[in-house]
Each structure stands twice: as C-alpha cells, then as structure tokens.
Amino acid sequence: MKTTLFTGAAIAIVTPMNKDGSVNYDMFKKLIDYQIENGTDAIVVCGTTGEAATLTVEEHLNCISFVSNYVKKRVPVIAGTGSNCTDTAVFLSKSAEAAGADGLLVVSPYYNKATQKGLIEHFGKIASSVDIPILLYNIPSRTGLSIAPETIKALVDRYENIVGVKDATGDLKWTGKVAMLCGERLDIYSGDDNAILPILSLGGKGVISVLSHVAPRDTHDIVEKYLSGDHKGALELQLKYLPLINALFCEVNPIPVKEACKYIGFDCGPTRLPLTPMDDANVTKLYNELYNVGLARTIK
C-alpha cells in the first residue's frame, strides 16, 4: 500500500545562518517550533530554499540529522537528497534514512540534462537504495529539463517507495497528465505557492511552501479548507496572499524569504554566495506586502 507522507502544507525550510555564514542551529530550533505550533504539516530540509547547493556534504548531513532529531516525529521530516551525480544522491539518501528522515525529496539531475531513460535509471537507483518514501521534484526552471509524465508513471510502476512529486513546472497540462497516468498511486504537491488551488483541483495533496515561513497557519488552512469542501474560503486565502507570494519571489529564492523572516521575528541570517543581499527597492516592496497582510512585527 502506498505511503502518503503528508497532506497539507510542508515548509521548504531555510537554513538559518550566523553572520559568519555558519549554520545557526539555535535559530533552526526556534523556526521549527514556530512552524509546528502554527500548523505546518511537514518540514522539508535541505531543499532549494535551504540552500542545499552551497552546503558542504558534512553540513548537508548535519542539518538533516539535526532537524530529524529535533522534530522527534512531531511532523514528518523530508530530506532533500538530490544531486546531478547519481552516486552522490544515493549516498545522501542512505545517510538521510539512517539519520531518521521520514522521506526524501529528490530533484531531477541538473546541468547534465539526462535523457528520460537516464532519469528512470537515476531515480531507480536511488529508490532501490532506501526503504523510506520518495517524492520526485520537477523544477525545469532550475534543472534545465522536465521529467516527462510517462517517465513518472514508469517509475511509479517499478518502485513502491516513489510515492509523490513536487510539481514546480508551472504547467497544469503536465500536472493533469501526471494525475491521469498515475491516479491515486502518486501524491502531487504544488511547488509554487501561487498554484496551490489549481493543483488541489487536479487531485493534489498539498504544497511544499515558501510562504509557510511567514504565514504557516493560513498556508495550512488553504489546503485544509479546500479538501474539506470550503472552496470559497480556500480561494479567499489564496488570493489574499498572492501579492505577498509575488514579493517573496521578486528575486531568486531564498533571498526574499530570508529577508522576510527578519520582520516576523526570526533573523535567519544571510544567504551564501552566489546569492547576494536583496535590492533595497525590493526589500521595501516585500516589507509593505508583509505589513499589508498584518505579518510585519518589526519596523524596516
């Protein structure tokens, strides 16, 4: 029987940093507790928003182990373990399983631009190396390729622990075809906060969210309201947050969300190069949108 890792809103959590660029584990604790206390349904660590690309392997594994141990099964912890090197992805995935992660988020290999056959072999080798559930992660804007719906079906047919996909394609035709081919054997999660409702309408189970950093309860409620039949209430919340969502992505993620965290009481520090501090005009725009929805707790 297929495992559903979570239903609702998972946070694609930032990796808090000290001023010197080291990981700030004390702030990690505060952010995790705040999220769980305010309805977040799962925590995704070391994903795109967590700056996995610029963490060392040691830091990457330490963050997964720390979050898994600190959460203590209060909610599922899903570890980002993707790589454009299959052997590295296998190593990270096995290590995350050993560290206590409840599931894995595995992005398609970037830069190499594998064929669809290559993707099947890549994901298949990872799936065969672990027993915990896996979410595939399709984000063509960052990886340079898209996982074809037929490829996802082939993987679901072969590997029981491939149970879902994070859809950051921005292409509802793609989403619909995946839903049609895989049905209830695959859980679909929006990878874009501005597309939660469209993906839920195609049978999705929730969202892996950046917005959750600043509005965890309402992000959870968008999904809960929709799935419980309160479509109007869900729509009102989705539309309420669209201007803030746009501001959270006015520069490359996670630059804006780390800035936003400062104004709700969580100084998560700088991003690592090549990500740079946010442009002043965009900081003002972001702050104003936080203020407009009543989230800014400190003055810019």
- Catalytically active residues, by annotation: 137, 166
Distance CA 112, CA 132 (A): 26
Residues facing 45 on adjacent strands: 79
Residue carrying structure tokens 């804007």: 141
Closest CA to 136 of 144, 209, 146, 61: 146
Query: DSSP string of 233-255?
Result: HHHHHHHHHHHHHHHHTSSSTTH
Beta-carbon-side half-sphere exposure of residue 244 (alpha carbons within 13 Å):
29
Beta-carbon-side half-sphere exposure of residue 242 (alpha carbons within 13 Å):
10
**What's phi and psi for 256, nearest 5 deg?**
-65, -40
Residues facing 134 on adjacent strands: 104, 162
Distance CA 206, CA 126 (A): 24
**CA terminus-to-terminus distance, the chain:** 50
Beta-carbon-side half-sphere exposure of residue 145 (alpha carbons within 13 Å):
18
| Joined tokens for residue 75 | 């909610």
Q: What residues contact 279, with CB distance under 8 A and at least 6 apart? A: 251
Closest CA to 83 of 105, 98, 103, 67: 105
Closest CA to 270 of 259, 281, 279: 259
